Amino acid sequence: MPNSMTGFANVEVTVEPFQLIWELRSVNHRFLEIGIRLPEDLRRLEHICRERINEALGRGKVDCTLKVKLTKGHAQEIRLQHDVLMRLQAAQNRAQESLPGAQSLTVGELLRWPGVLEETTYEPASLEVPIMRALDNALQSLGGARQREGEHIYTLLELRCNKILRIISQIRPRIGRVEKRYREKLQERCGRLDIEVNPERLEQEIALLTQRLDISEEIDRLEGHVKEALVVLVREDPIGRRLDFLIQELNREANTLASKSQDVDLTRDAVEIKVLIEQMREQAQNLE
């Protein structure tokens, strides 16, 4: 059963007094492209996080964000650094001795000065293990979401493959009748123009026209590609690229079928097949 490249996972873990929140989003992409956003104090974990994601996923554009915040009931503690404030005051006094007319800093300006206020911080090393455990859980959750989406896409692709096979089964019996209509039309035109036609020459023209417009090979190849797609869909390994190739081949045969069509019903069937193939192409782009 194929996996989709589209999915979302959110995992929250509490390590008092902090809450760790991993958010993972993935969309379709030709290769595996990983974007990781970590708090500055935890940037050194990026390499190991990237390795874990590489092991878990095959394709897709994956955005991973880690947030660290205080749990409810733990207010952010802000401490005034008196030593920094005193050094800043001393520096201001010396500046005013040199520039007597200079205005003193306001309380607000003093508090905004770097280092005067210190917020609650955490020791990065103490959070590494729960962070990586939470990432593993998030990757497992993302994998489940991608699998469920893949199962949904599988159902849609299987449905469209079977529709194409039904259309092909309806076209096959009409192939011989199309040749008969070619003959009747050609004879009718000759009759309208009051042209005496050499029967042998007429048969040659009909044979050439029939050969040029024969769709038997296109129908056979279409059927073969659709059956191969159904086999590919149940493979355990990633199938996105192989399925994309098969859909390109299906589209090529459908275009040839449409170009050879000289029959209203066949034209309608060819258009329906092309619509189904385009729907398959859009859905298959999301498969890993």
Q: Which three-class secondary structure state does DSSP give residue 158?
A: helix
Token pair listed for 176: 């011989």
What are the Cα distances from residue 130, in Å, to 67, 68, 75, 211, 216? 13, 12, 22, 70, 63
pTM for the model stands at 0.70
**What are the sequence ranges of the domains in the chain?**
7-74+125-146, 78-119
Cβ contact 142:24 at 8 Å: yes
Instruction: Please tell me the predicted confidence (pLDDT) of residue 124.
Output: 72
Q: Does domain 7-74+125-146 have CATH number 3.30.230.10?
A: yes
Q: What is the pLDDT of residues 66-80, one digit of tens each?
A: 998 877 765 555 666
Q: What is the pLDDT of residues 153-193, one digit of tens each?
A: 999 999 999 999 999 999 888 876 666 666 667 667 766 66
Cβ-based neighbours of 61, under 8 Å, separated by 6 or more: 5, 26, 27, 28, 29, 33, 35
Q: What is the pLDDT of residues 18-67, one digit of tens each?
A: 889 999 999 999 899 999 999 988 999 999 999 999 999 988 999 999 99
| Block residue for tokens 């009718």 | 188
